[in-house]
Chain A
């Protein structure tokens, strides 16, 4: 019966399947326009980079807002160590006007984002990575000329702005990579806002 219901429902909905890259597999590089009007790629940063912390986020989502300072802190802590933050917004501004490119530029300027904030207008990058929500983090490690996915999911274990954080998943993953160790916790789910997919 479950199958029947699913079939029934799939026909009626515009489902975006979030497949994405597998853990410990190569990810595809991208080229997106940033709020600085320049093009950015995963590989195009500093040659000394050892990887990157790719974060799908956006302007409007309260969870993204709750994590905004923590995202800035991640970049400040890890950029010089070779793991800069690359923030990407993939939301359709037709659905969420607060997530338009102009609004992204305003917010980045106002909050002095130290990291590139990129606009994934076609939503292809979010689909390729299997991002479903904001914020949704992908820690990638540079291996020769490729980037390999080492961690996917939540930043830490408490989204609440004044909540007590017991586990900092992204930091633990990057610290392990910097120490040339295996990432122990490779995936952690968390609540977030759905990425606002274009309607057809």
Chain B
């Protein structure tokens, strides 16, 4: 019986883990988190439907995996529609992506775009780099893997 309960509880906890969703946050709150983090924070805005965004996510994963010890932290913020929120986590898991993910609650509106960067047109992907809370670079468009590594290494040199 104990074993049975154990199996059942394991099943439920596994279910619970699967059912977890990425947090949905106002963009200003995401920025607050970024600006209060030491080291190099990379904030990438993407969406599950955005091909170039999804294509570059593995590059971010590689940067995260190889440079975590150097204080690099990557946040991927999804601009997906609300209805897509339950699918974001499975989408990332399927691709073995373990990046810190969230959803932009006000992503369908226009206010957050200038907040991210005044030069940002709204076309995604878009990425900003913050060193000890201060934005040092903003880029609208995707990255090739070597471009991303080059930029990250250059910023780390300035630390």
Contact = CB atoms under 8 A, between A and B. Distances in A.
Given A190-B122, A191-B124, A194-B141, A154 B136 contact: no
Contacts of A18: 121
Tell me whether chain A's interface is mostly helix, strand or loop, or mixed.
loop
B85 to A, nearest CB: 12
Interface stretch (B11-19, B60-68, B87-95, B109-117): B109-117
B153 to A, nearest CB: 10
B147 A12 contact: yes
Q: Is the interface on chain A under 10, 10 to 19, 20 to 34, or 35 or more residues?
A: 20 to 34
A192 B107 CA distance: 11
A1 interface: yes
Contacts of A15: 141
Interface string B128-147: 00000000110111001011
Interface of B is mostly: mixed
Interface string A159-185: 111110000000000000000000000
A194 B154 contact: no
Contacts of B146: 12
B49 to A, nearest CB: 4
Nearest to A154: B110
A189 B119 CA distance: 10
A31 interface: no
A50 B137 CA distance: 43
Given A2-B137, A66-B81, A193-B123, A163 B110 contact: no
Interface of A: 1-2, 4-6, 8-9, 12-13, 15, 18, 61-62, 66, 96, 132-133, 153-154, 157-163, 188-195
13 contacts: A2-B137, A5-B136, A5-B154, A12-B144, A12-B147, A13-B147, A62-B49, A132-B122, A154-B110, A157-B109, A192-B122, A194-B125, A194-B140
